[in-house]
Amino acid sequence: GKNYGRVVYEGLKGGLDFLKDDENINSQPFMRWRERFLYCMEGINRAAAATGEVKGSYLNITAATMEEVIKRADYAKTVGSVIVMIDLVMGYTAIQTAAIWARENDMVLHLHRAGNSTYARQKNHGINFRVICKWMRMSGVDHIHAGT
């Protein structure tokens, strides 16, 4: 977590405005989510102080249960984050629940498209990602990672 936070700091101090957790980062033994969130926020705050600019990083709160998602979201807010990130693979009910939490807590919700190809890859059947993006916006997501 400490090295990850250092990379966040270096990237933001070097000129980036925002960074995001990788969609695959969750809470591995070598970097637990609480430690990652804490060191990311430390890097964000240091970079903002050094540059005089607004800086940020999307903290991935995706987890196996909604209770854990909300616990991570609450912690992200507690340590000073203004934006959290979830993955599409969480499912529509979980995404909408996270969106409601974000509204109630004045947080921005970023959605990563992780898992999109399970819906959109087949050309003869499936759902175009543009449709999924509309659904996500209707569900309350503020910001969508729509690139590759």
When mean pLDDT is compared across 49-63, 90-104, 121-135, the lowest value belongs to: 121-135
The pLDDT assigned to 106 comes to 97
- Under a CB-based contact definition with an 8 Å cutoff, are residues 13 and 50 in contact? yes
Q: What is the mean pLDDT of residues 93-99?
A: 93
By residue range, what is the domain housing residue 34? 2-145
What is the average pLDDT score of the chain? 88
Task: Give this prediction's pTM.
Answer: 0.87
Measured between alpha carbons, how far is 146 from 148 in angstroms, rounded to an integer? Answer: 7
Q: Binning pLDDT at 50, 70 and 90, where does residue 107 land?
A: very high
Task: State the virtual CA torsion across 114, 139, 20, 67 in degrees, nearest 10.
Answer: -90
For residue 126, the model assigns a pLDDT of 76
% of the chain residues with pLDDT over 70: 93
More reliable by pLDDT, 117 or 70: 70
CB distance 136 to 142 below 8 Å: no
Q: 120 exposed, middle or buried (CB, 10 Å; 0-12, 13-18, 19+)?
A: middle
pLDDT-based confidence at residue 46 (cuts at 50, 70, 90): very high
Q: How many domains does the chain have?
A: 1
Q: What is the CATH number of the domain that holds 63?
A: 3.20.20.110
Separation CA 73–CA 61 (nearest Å) = 6
Residue 97's nearest CA partner among 118, 68, 56, 77 is 68
Q: What is the pLDDT of residue 115?
A: 66
Query: Which one of 93-97, 101-105, 128-132 scores highest in mean pLDDT?
Result: 101-105
Give the mean model confidence (pLDDT) for residues 107-113: 88
